Each structure stands twice: as C-alpha cells, then as structure tokens.
C-alpha cells in the first residue's frame, strides 16, 4: 500500500541551527501539507502546497519556515533558525483531492528536539 515516508524520524539540534525535514508523498498525490504536534497539544496545520506553490499557511508558519518540492518526489520543510518552541512532532501529509472531499495520508512524523 502506498505511504508517505518521512526522514529523519528524530532529530536533535541546537537552538539557532537550521533543520530540514524531508517527506516523500504518495506518488500520484497533488496536494502536500505539513502539520505539527507539540507534545500533549493539538495537531496544528502549518502549510499546504499545490502546483509548486504555497496555497495556504497558518500564523505559525512565519519567515523562519519554508517549504520546497526540489524534485518530483520530495517535499521538504526548512526551519532556518530553530527555537526551543519549535520542538514538536512534524507530520507530512498528502492528498489526491481537496481535503473537503478526500482524505489526508500522513507520514509517521519527524520528532524535532531543540536544545
């Protein structure tokens, strides 16, 4: 069964360092997303991406964050200068249709720990 894969599964970094989280969405999907879940808190939307551009972003997704689809398969989330409060589980997701009709397929997550 096709699945969304994410790497790394866990990354520990120092505050101020750049981090890149990688995702390989399901191959025929057109819509890509990043969500995050701070420990014990809600799953929060960060950004959606379609047709090689951001289609929607939340207030969390500030200038420190960026996304890219550098080739036909990868979808990355970059945090330029990490803060302690960026520590969270980051989930990549993809969908074939707009979410109002279809479903999101999530990866297993990348846990980011900022020290």
Partner 1 sequence: GNSVTQMEGPVTLSEEAFLTINCTYTATGYPSLFWYVQYPGEGLQLLLKATKADDKGSNKGFEATYRKETTSFHLEKGSVQVSDSAVYFCALPRGSTLGRLYFGRGTQLTVWP
Task: Summarize as ranges the residues that interact with partner 1 (CB under 8 A).
Answer: 4, 31, 33, 35, 41-45, 48, 50, 55-56, 58, 91, 93, 95, 98-101, 103-109
Cβ–Cβ < 8 Å for 113, 42: no
* Among the listed residues 25, 74, 80, 34, the one whose alpha carbon sits nearest the alpha carbon of residue 56: 34
- Between residues 19 and 29, which has the closer beta carbon with respect to partner 1? 29
Min dist. Cβ of residue 14 to partner 1 (A) = 26
CA distances from 95 to 18, 64, 81, 115 (A): 28, 25, 29, 33
Min dist. Cβ of residue 16 to partner 1 (A) = 28
- Between residues 35 and 86, which has the closer beta carbon with respect to partner 1? 35
Min dist. Cβ of residue 6 to partner 1 (A) = 8
């Amino acid at each position: 069964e096709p699945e969304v894969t994410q790497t790394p599964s866990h990354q520990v970094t120092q505050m101020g360092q750049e981090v890149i989280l990688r995702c390989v969405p399901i191959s025929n999907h057109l819509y890509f997303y990043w969500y995050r879940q701070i420990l014990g808190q809600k799953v929060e939307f960060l950004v959606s991406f379609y047709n090689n551009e951001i289609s929607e972003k939340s207030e969390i997704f500030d200038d420190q964050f960026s996304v890219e689809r550098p080739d036909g398969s990868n979808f990355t989330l970059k945090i330029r200068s990490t803060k302690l409060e960026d520590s969270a589980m980051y989930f990549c997701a993809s969908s074939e249709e707009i979410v109002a009709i279809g479903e999101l397929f999530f990866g297993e997550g990348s846990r980011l720990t900022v020290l």
